[in-house]
């Protein structure tokens, strides 16, 4: 191993030992020096879908993918309002960017199905699918399908969309990128009461549990799709100053704002996973700042094989997939 690589790993280990520095702006400023200034890969002629793309990390990811040359499909709840505004912002940031806007509410299975059908008509191959849409709710609410809204948005919608777009992902040897959160490190996989029916609802804990579930599903998709050429990886963006953080965690943002990353710093690994030749064929891993990371720091957060299988079966049952989901 070269001396430079040893030095890099030593610095990275020091940063990882200090969460605020690693997850915040200081960690990003140190690590980005080795990434270079240009796009991490060439996606000209390729299609990248980003959910939750109207602001924050999703919008930054859309800009980054457009800089790589991809045709970027923005999945947005408010197509005519925020969706078109996001398209305009991407095109201002990246001249001649090709951007499509399609309506998508990932908490609604009907909306997911309609979105997948529109994608299938317009794009026979999908090369990157970024599951970025997410919510952190203050009170327990149900989706239109009767599923707890945090789980419906952060877990079930992405599961259903991946299944619905499988044919297009196979055609493009697509890369699935699941945007999780460092908060998942403090929670274990919850399959006993994932909808918070028997527990007093805690929005932050519910969010962290769904982010843990995302990582598990990302690994499972990597296993299920191994023979298809599709890869599935998760990433966490660190601590990023986004509108979502300002709304859901105002006190945290007020205290930590000087240390928070910007959207570009949060989205960088998303774009790298979608575009870079460095991760061609890599699947089932968790990344942060372009490095593979461990999925557990606390032993008690590890799930059993039965619990992991229970999550998969729950998502299958809730998504009600089968013939109606074929596109």
Q: What would the mean pLDDT of 78-107 be, rounded to a whole number?
A: 96
- Measured N-to-C along each axis, helices 56-67 and 84-93 cross at an angle, to the nearest 10 degrees, of 40
Q: In this predicted structure, what is the pLDDT of residue 7?
A: 47
Query: Quick one: pLDDT at residue 261?
Result: 85
User: Which tokens belong to 189?
Assistant: 């996989």
Confidence of residue 315 (pLDDT cuts 50, 70, 90): very high
Where does the pLDDT of residue 246 fall: very low under 50, low under 70, confident under 90, or very high at 90 and above? confident
Band the pLDDT of 16: cuts 50, 70, 90: low
Which pLDDT does position 204 carry in this prediction?
Answer: 93
Instruction: Based on the residue annotation, tell me whether 321 is a catalytic residue of this protein.
Output: no
Per-residue pLDDT tens for 215-225? 999 999 999 99
**Res. 3: pLDDT tops 90:** no
- Helix, strand or coil, per DSSP, at residue 130: strand
Average confidence (pLDDT) over 144-172:
97
In this prediction, residue 326 carries a pLDDT of 38
Domain ranges across the chain: 1-34, 40-325
Q: Give the span between the Cα atoms of 305 and 303, in whole angstroms.
A: 7
Domain 40-325: give its CATH superfamily. NAD(P)-binding Rossmann-like Domain (3.40.50.720)
Identify the three-state secondary structure at position 203.
helix
* Average of per-residue pLDDT values in the chain: 90
pLDDT value, residue 68: 98
pTM over 0.85: yes
Determine the average pLDDT of the residues in 107-126.
97
| Paired tokens of 13 | 């280990």
Write the DSSP assignment of 14-45 as a string of letters. HHHTSHHHHHSHHHHHHHGGGT-SS-SS--TT
Higher per-residue pLDDT: 129 or 37: 129
Q: Are 214 and 190 in contact (CB under 8 A)?
A: no
pLDDT category at 186 given cuts 50, 70, 90 is very high
pLDDT class of 211 with cuts at 50, 70, 90 = very high
pLDDT at position 92 is: 97
Residue 38 pairs with which residues in a beta bridge?
A: none
* Radius of gyration, alpha carbons of the chain: 19
Among 23, 185, 207, 321, the one annotated catalytic: 207
Q: What is the mean pLDDT of residues 295-311?
A: 95
């Amino acid at each position: 191993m070269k001396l430079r690589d040893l030095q890099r790993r030593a610095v990275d280990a020091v940063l990882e030992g200090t969460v605020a520095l690693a997850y915040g702006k200081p960690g990003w400023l140190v690590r980005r020096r080795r990434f270079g200034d240009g796009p991490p890969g060439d996606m000209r002629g390729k299609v990248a879908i980003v959910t939750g793309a109207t602001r924050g990390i999703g919008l930054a990811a859309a800009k980054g993918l457009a800089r790589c040359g991809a045709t970027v499909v923005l999945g947005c709840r408010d197509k005519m309002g925020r969706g078109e505004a996001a398209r305009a912002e991407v095109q201002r940031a990246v001249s001649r960017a090709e951007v499509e806007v399609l309506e998508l509410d990932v908490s609604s299975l009907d909306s997911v199905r309609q979105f997948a059908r529109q994608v299938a008509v317009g794009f026979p191959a999908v090369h990157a699918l970024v599951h970025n849409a997410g919510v952190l709710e203050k009170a327990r609410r149900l989706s239109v399908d009767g599923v707890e809204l945090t789980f419906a948005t952060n877990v079930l919608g992405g599961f259903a969309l991946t299944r619905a777009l499988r044919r297009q992902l196979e055609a493009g040897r697509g890369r699935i990128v699941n945007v999780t959160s460092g908060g998942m490190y403090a929670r274990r996989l919850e399959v006993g009461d994932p909808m918070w029916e028997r527990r007093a609802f805690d929005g932050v804990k519910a969010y962290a549990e769904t982010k843990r579930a995302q990582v598990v599903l990302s690994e499972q998709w990597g296993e299920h799709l191994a023979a298809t050429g599709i890869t599935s990886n998760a990433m966490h963006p660190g601590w990023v100053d986004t509108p979502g953080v300002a709304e859901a965690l105002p006190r945290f943002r007020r205290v930590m704002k000087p240390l928070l990353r910007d959207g570009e710093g949060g989205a960088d690994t998303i774009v790298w996973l979608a575009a870079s030749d460095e991760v061609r064929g890599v699947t089932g891993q968790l990344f942060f700042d372009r490095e593979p990371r461990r999925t557990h720091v606390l032993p008690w957060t590890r799930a059993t094989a039965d619990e992991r299988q229970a999550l998969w079966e729950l998502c299958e049952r809730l998504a009600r997939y089968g013939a109606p989901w074929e596109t």
